[in-house]
């Protein structure tokens, strides 16, 4: 799902004439949605645990999955000033 959200920004940038202009927003969207989807999977454990789905929280536990979800979100925060700093 994260790649789908990010790719839509790349497609829009391509249609606008400069795919390079969409790289930074696409990376931000990817990291944001990746962290969010892991958190949403944690919230869905009671429902998905009854089926055959093997989501990250089911495999490694809620606490570890929450720590994993913090990584892309922390990267998002750390990388957010980069486009400004390099003049994009």
Print pLDDT tens along the chain (88 aa): 888 989 999 999 999 998 888 999 999 999 999 999 999 988 887 777 666 778 888 888 889 999 999 999 999 999 999 888 888 7
Tokens representing residue 57 in the block: 């929280």
Cα dihedral 5→10→14→17 (10° resolution): 120
DSSP letters for 7-55 = HHHHHHHHHHT-GGGGHHHHHHHHHHHHHHHHHHHHHTHHHHTTSS---
pTM for the predicted model, two decimal places:
0.82
């Amino acid at each position: 799902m994260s790649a789908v959200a990010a790719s839509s920004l790349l497609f829009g940038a391509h249609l606008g004439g400069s795919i390079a202009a969409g790289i930074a927003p696409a990376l931000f969207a990817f990291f944001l949605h990746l962290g969010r989807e892991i958190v949403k999977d944690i919230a869905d454990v009671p429902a998905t645990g009854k089926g055959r789905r093997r989501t990250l929280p089911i495999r490694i536990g809620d606490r570890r999955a929450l720590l994993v979800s913090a990584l892309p979100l922390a990267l998002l925060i750390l990388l957010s000033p980069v486009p400004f700093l390099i003049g994009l």
